[in-house]
Amino acid sequence: MKKRLKKALALLLISSLTLFLAACSNAPITNNSKGLWDGLVVLNFSRAIIWLSSFFNDNYGMGIIIFTILVRIVILPLMIYQTRSMRRTQEIQPQLKALQKKYSSRDQETMAKLREEQQKLYSEAGINPLAGCLPLIVQMPVLFALYQSIWRTDILRSGKFMWLSLGHPDPYFVLPVLAALFTFLSSWLMMKGQPESNSMTIMMTWGMPVMIFFMAFSLPSALSLYWVVTNLFQVGQTLAIQNPWKINRERREKQAEQRAQQRKVKKAIRRAKRSKRK
């Protein structure tokens, strides 16, 4: 149920933003641009990238890279919160499965009881079931604003970075490949740290990079550059705060401690039984 809700919210968000931005003007962004979206968001994104580029001899590709890193740093606390919430969710999976088995009937009363017990379990564990949606909610407007700030700012759209023309797709497909590769690495590292992987996780790990590749294939290379940097940052972030090898080692150590404790309890029970016989 939680997954369905998250997917529904994500689709609703994307659809709403698409409809909203489709109605926005495609007129060039200038200092005279007005309105909440054009005058406040897109114009300031454009200004920020141009200002950052000025530190690199008006290299707009470097401006986009630095801007992307700053965005990732700003939302880093949110990502850390999401990561910790995901780990706690993984830890209570056995209890969730036990509840689903206990309330397996599909009648309304049983389903309501299951939702109530799940919510109680989430609350006790300090988990917000919607935490996984927050980074998406933050990043989607950023992605749209970046796209429009580049496409509607003449100086950025005509800018060059290495072999790239920032307003056009990468002619050699280097950025689409890198975007897909880093997306895969990020998803694979997250999956490797989970105690078990379901079909949805595996499908997303392999399917998302393919989708990103074809999106980057046709989008302006400036946007592909943003996607490459943000996913490379995500890989480093995962290795730093959710290292799957460290998590799996800690999980094995915890399981070994639990088994050792269980053996001690069994030995104590056997000794108590022998004492009673005597």
* pLDDT of 122: 76
For 177, the domain range is 2-92+127-242
In a domain? residue 110: no
Residue 93 CB neighbour total at 10 angstroms: 12
Residues 53 and 63: beta-carbon distance below 8 Å: yes
- The 3-state DSSP class for residue 177 equals helix
pTM metric for this prediction? 0.70
Amino acid 52: pLDDT: 92
- Specify if 10 maps to a domain: yes
Overall number of domains in the chain: 1
pLDDT for res 206: 79
Which pLDDT does position 7 carry in this prediction? 46
Measured from the Cβ of residue 21, the count of other Cβ atoms closer than 10 Å reads 15
Let me know if residue 109 belongs to a domain: no
Q: Measured at the alpha carbon of residue 2, what is the angle toward residues 8 and 197, in degrees to the nearest 5?
A: 110
User: Distance between the two ends of the chain, CA-based, in angstroms?
Assistant: 56
Residue 102 lies in a domain: no
Mean pLDDT, the chain, rounded, equals 76
Residues in the chain, total: 278
Tell me if 225 is assigned to some domain: yes
pLDDT (0 to 100) of residue 11: 46
Asked whether residue 56 is assigned to any structural domain, the reply reads yes
Nearest 10 degrees: Cα torsion 227, 228, 232, 233: -40
Sequence-separated (6 or more) residues with CB below 8 Å from residue 209: 180, 181, 183, 184, 187
> Which segments in the chain show pLDDT lower than 50?
1-12, 14-16, 18-23
Let me know if residue 196 belongs to a domain. Answer: yes
Please tell me the predicted confidence (pLDDT) of residue 5. Answer: 45
